Structure 1
Amino acid sequence: MPTTAAPPDAAAPCTLRERKKQQTRQALHNAALTLVSAHGLDGVTIEQICADADVSPRTFFNYFTSKAHAALGLDSVEVPERSAAWFEQADGALVDDLCVLIAATVPLSQDRRRMKELLVLRPEMSSTVMQWMAESRQSLLSVVGTRTDEQTARTAVTLVMSALSEVAHRDTVRSNDELAERLRAVVGEMVALAS
């Protein structure tokens, strides 16, 4: 019987410590998004972002690799070990399982509208999104390659990451399960168009 459950990291209970970490991350993201929207990336310092988020500058790099990543709310995408192990053992269709893996790995933004506005207002931020997508692909390729050959892995990751890009332009997604379903739907649309 195919495995359809989400990777364990997606369903893990949220401890008080984890909630506090999420709150700090969200405060840094909100501050960076507001400041970069108003002043541009070069017009803002990490110290200003941290002051607005009420955290120390040393804390910043525990959550984000750059001001641009903080403004866009993008974490570096590394597939957690437990999620990678789930994917390796899953026995559903490769692309379906990849949709679930990506949905469990990609951070969900609660303020997608503001992020879209930032990209329109500050088009120089688009390069950060493109770099993030490329890094995400690389991280996913090593995991997907455990179940198939390299060429199939590249094709599957490219397909689902393209679907992710399309889903990002549509309505806000509120949960990992909803993201997985939307990814499957967009992949289905792509396949139908190619037929």
Structure 2
Amino acid sequence: MNLRARKMARTSRDLAAAARRRALDAGLAGFTIEELCEQVGISRRTFFNYFASKEDAVLGISARRDTAHLDEDFAAGGDPHSKHLSPDLLEALTRLALERWRMDDPEPDPERVREVMAVIDQEPRLFKRVLEHMSSDEKRDVALVERREGLPAGDLRASAAVQILMSVMRASAFEFFTTDNADDIETVVGRRVDAMRAVLHG
């Protein structure tokens, strides 16, 4: 990362951390975006360069997330003219998910995740926001699989592939952040992908 990118990443982390602490201390209604910006030392306008809402700041869901180049690489890896699904479809989806993970969170912090989970417990309406993002991500990835594999819109094989991978990633994230696991996320995900492959192929 260059100097500008590092500075922006630091500002994003500072904003999210400050938002989580304020939400834990006073609840979502207990502070304003303006107060958050004053604490971090940025303008309200700058805030929206990083997060779409106060809720997204608390959850750490960045408005700057741009994975178009990763999506294009994934889409280019298939053969849309083939009558069969690519044999490496699930593996390619896994790579895409891990690359996005590393882009979003190059230094995973279990304490940060515990804070986010604590805020969600305290503010259940945040869970709705999480589900909205998950639904949006799922629709985007289903469309990507359809494009990569040359499938018609609505083909259940595309949604099944994405939903299987989402289940693997959720379980892996839970293991990575909430247990005494000492492995990196790639290893944790790899174990579950191997188990998934054994179940699917016998």
Scaled to the shorter chain, the TM-score interval is 0.7 to 0.9
Distance in 2, matches of 1:141 and 1:121, equals: 32
Equivalent AA in structure 1 for residue 32 of structure 2: T
Question: Whose RCO is larger (CA < 8 A, sep 6+)?
Answer: 1
What is the CA-CA distance between 1:95 and the residue it aligns to?
0.8
Corresponding residue of 1:7:
none
Corresponding residue to 2:169 among 148, 164, 168:
164
Spell out the pairing of 1:101-140 with structure 2 (5 A cutoff): 101-106=96-101, 107-108=104-105, 109-110=108-109, 111-140=112-141
Contact 1:87 1:101 in 2 (8 A): yes
Q: How many residues align?
A: 179
Task: Say if 2:58 is the partner of 1:71.
Answer: yes
What is the CA-CA distance between 1:105 and the residue it aligns to?
2.1
**Cα distance change, pair 135–76 in 1 and its aligned pair in 2 (3 A):** farther
Task: Say if 2:26 is the partner of 1:39.
Answer: yes
What is the CA-CA distance between 1:88 and the residue it aligns to?
2.1
Moved over 4 A (4+): 76-79, 190-195
Question: RMSD over aligned Cα, in angstroms?
Answer: 2.6
Distance in 2, matches of 1:90 and 1:76, equals: 27
What is the CA-CA distance between 1:76 and the residue it aligns to?
5.2
Spell out the pairing of 1:141-152 with structure 2 (5 A cutoff): 141-148=142-149, 149=151, 150-152=155-157
What is the CA-CA distance between 1:187 and the residue it aligns to?
3.8
Corresponding residue of 2:40:
53
Distance in 2, matches of 1:77 and 1:139, equals: 17
Corresponding residue of 2:160:
155
Task: Say if 2:192 is the partner of 1:186.
Answer: yes
What TM-score do you get using the length of structure 2 for normalisation?
Answer: 0.77
Equivalent AA in structure 2 for residue 61 of structure 1: F
Contact 2:50 2:63 in 1 (8 A): no
Corresponding residue of 2:181:
none
Structure number with greater Rg is 2
SS at match of 1:147: helix
Corresponding residue to 1:82 among 69, 89, 97:
69
Contact 1:79 1:105 in 2 (8 A): no
Distance in 2, matches of 1:83 and 1:158, equals: 19
Identity of aligned residues (%): 26
What TM-score do you get using the length of structure 1 for normalisation?
Answer: 0.79
Distance in 2, matches of 1:140 and 1:180, equals: 20
Q: Structure 1, unaligned stretches of length 5 or more?
A: 1-13
Distance in 2, matches of 1:154 and 1:129, equals: 19
Bigger shift: residues 101-110 or 131-140: 101-110
SS at match of 1:74: coil
Q: Structure 2, unaligned stretches of length 5 or more?
A: 79-86, 179-183
Contact 1:99 1:180 in 2 (8 A): no
